Amino acid sequence: MAEQPQTIVAPAPPVDKPLGARHQENLSSIFPESPLVGYLGDVTDDERKSAFQSEVLDGTVQNGLGFSSFDRDYANNGAPDLLDVETGGGGLPATPFTPNPSSPGPGSTFAGDQPPFEGKIPDSGPEFGSGLGGLLSPSTTSEEIQGQTLGSYISGRSYAGSDGSA
């Protein structure tokens, strides 16, 4: 996320720029039908931020490209709870986070022939980057991500507390 606010609609007033400074009156006369600030008065920075939040970040998309509908509120999409993942043999994973490494047996390449993994699954170590690690369930993190709004993003983190701090 940018550390300095960027121009959306309303330009910053010129600061001691005798050459190249904007002249709002001239621009308004050249582009009388422009919807930008100072012309018709209906498009503002706040209006654009609000429109982005409602049209891009929130709600459900209907008849999208390749999807009949898609809910942008992640938690409403049925994010899996990894504690509910069935594990074992027969093609099932060894843990919710680890595929079953067992061989299906001589002459078979069919995952359904795999026995349950009987070895020791290594403990999860610290993963690359910062955060709570790779053992959080999407059903937990999606609730936090869903609550984000334009301007609430935190540099280097998914959401407040995702780096392990309170």
What is the CB neighbour count within 10 angstroms for residue 150?
13
* Token reading at 30: 């050249």
Query: Which residue has better confidence, 54 or 123?
Result: 54
Q: What is the pLDDT of residues 65-78, one digit of tens each?
A: 888 888 888 778 78
Tokens 């780096």 identify what position? 163
Q: Measured in Å, how far apart are the chain's first and last C-alpha atoms?
A: 22
- 7-32 confidence digits (pLDDT tens): 887 777 667 776 767 777 888 788 88
**What pLDDT, on a 0 to 100 scale, did the predictor assign at position 90?**
95
Q: Phi/psi at 95 (nearest 5 deg)?
A: -140, 170
pLDDT tens figures, 120-155: 988 776 666 556 766 778 888 888 888 888 877 777
Summarize the confidence of residues 46-74 as an average pLDDT: 84
Full-prediction pTM beyond 0.85? no
SS3 readout for the chain: CCCCCCCCCCCCCCCCCCCCCCCHHHHHHHCCCCCCCCCCCCCCHHHHHHHHHHHHHCCEEECCCCCCEEECCHHHHCCCCHHHCCCCCCCCCCECCECCCCCCCCCCCCHHHCCCCCCCCCCCCCCCCCCCCCCCCHHHHHHHHHCCCCCCCECCECCCCCCCCC
User: What is the per-residue pLDDT across 88-128, written as a single tens digit (0 to 9) for each?
Assistant: 999 999 998 889 999 999 999 999 999 999 999 887 766 66
